Amino acid sequence: MQHLIDIMDLSLAEIDELIEKAKDIIANPEKYQEKCRYKKLATLFFEPSTRTRLSFEAAMMELGGNVLGFSDAGSSSAKKGESVADTVAVVGGYADIIAMRHPKEGAPVVAAMHTDVPIINAGDGGHNHPTQTLTDLLTIKMEMGRLDNLTIGLCGDLKFGRTVHSLVAAMSRYTGIKFVLISPEELKLPSYVKESYIKKNNIPYEQTTSLEDVMDKIDILYMTRVQRERFFNEEDYLRLKDSYILDTKKMEKAKDDMIGMHPLPRVNEISVEVDSDKRASYFRQAKYGKYIRMALILKLLEVE
Ligand code: CP
């Protein structure tokens, strides 16, 4: 595998290998601190980010490598009209590996056609976010001890939430998975995601608008933000933005060993009072993101 555009580019064996590598990095960070000496990672972020960009940069630094890039399309020559293809063709001459986020679905595919260096999709519009999914899988493995036999509740903006689309695809390949899809009517999981992964694999699922009604049956509750930047009008966003708020009262109904995940950033959908609940795993999840990205960089650069 040269690039990571879609989580389905990785086999289950490769995902397992990345998770095991990340666990070894967590246990033995000193073993890895020179692995990418003299290597450079470029982070090309045409859309805002905190976790993905900074965890990629921290990952490369902890591997002994260097980073370059931009965090705002407005400070790059995209502002002057340069295409993604040209940007990547040029940056491929400066860096050994590129992590790119772009508001247009499919932009990383175009990028991969215009350079020989590995391209990592760090989120493309409302489409996919494969490295968030690797983060999520490592989190589930670390917190639950398994990736199978799980009932996964996905709550919030399932329409535009790219992390949800990639997670559904990834989890559809494990056994004993059930999905509970919790969203307003307008923000339901796109039918192409449901058809391609859930229905195709005969995975049991239910759809509901009520989070309270399903709290007690969920092993993993994956909360998501309503994606304001993907809405065509502000009125719809304002009407839907507070559809679900996870608070301590709702957490009382959850299993003792449930975990609450969120790709972050959080806006209002999880009350801060939930943060001190041991089942709230979203800040640990963000930290796991650095380790799995270290494992991914090593794999794509073919460093042992
Ligand atoms: N989860 C995630 O993609 O966060 P950022 O937008 O901050 O990178």
Identify residue 196 by its one-letter amino acid code. Answer: S
Catalytic residue among 51, 102, 127, 250: 51
Closest residue by CA, ligand 1 atom 6: 49
114 tagged catalytic:
no
Long-range contacts of 114-120 (CB under 8 A, 24+ apart): 114/84, 114/85, 114/86, 114/88, 114/89, 115/88, 115/89, 115/91, 116/92, 117/92, 118/2, 118/3, 118/4, 118/300, 118/301, 119/3, 119/4, 119/5, 119/88, 120/3, 120/4, 120/56, 120/296, 120/300
For the beta sheet containing 220-223, the strands, ordered from the edge strand earlier in sequence to the opposite edge, are 205-208, 177-182, 150-155, 220-223, 259-261
Q: What residue has token string 């307003």? A: 184
Beta strands in the chain (DSSP E): 40-45, 66-70, 97-102, 119-124, 150-155, 177-182, 205-208, 220-223, 259-261
The pLDDT of residue 22 is 98
Residue 145 has pLDDT above 80, yes or no: yes
More confident residue, 239 or 149: 149
Closest residue by CA, ligand 1 atom 1: 263
Q: What does the pLDDT look like over 18-73, one tens digit per residue? A: 999 999 999 999 999 999 999 999 999 999 999 999 999 999 999 999 999 999 99
Among 7, 45, 51, say which to mutate for ligand 1: greatest number of ligand atoms within 8 Å of CB: 51
- Kindly give the number of the ligand 1 atom that is closest to the alpha carbon of 264: 1
Q: Do 67 and 57 form a contact (C-beta atoms < 8 A)?
A: yes
Q: Do 74 and 101 form a contact (C-beta atoms < 8 A)?
A: no
Closest residue by CA, ligand 1 atom 3: 52
Residues in contact with ligand 1 by the CB-under-6-Å rule are 49-52, 123, 132, 263-265
Q: What does the pLDDT look like over 161-198, one tens digit per residue? A: 999 999 999 999 999 999 999 999 999 999 999 999 99
Banded pLDDT at 201 (limits 50, 70, 90): very high
The pLDDT of residue 236 is 85
Q: What does the pLDDT look like over 274-301, one tens digit per residue? A: 999 999 999 999 999 999 999 999 999 9
Banded pLDDT at 304 (limits 50, 70, 90): confident
Catalytic residue among 21, 35, 39, 52: 52
- Kindly give the number of the ligand 1 atom that is closest to the alpha carbon of 54: 8
SS3 202: coil
Ligand 1 centre distance from Cα of residue 51 (Å): 5
- Kindly give the number of the ligand 1 atom that is closest to the alpha carbon of 48: 6
The pLDDT of residue 1 is 65
Residue 151 has pLDDT above 80, yes or no: yes
- Kindly give the number of the ligand 1 atom that is closest to the alpha carbon of 55: 8
Q: pTM of the entire structure?
A: 0.96
Q: What does the pLDDT look like over 69-78, one tens digit per residue? A: 999 999 999 9
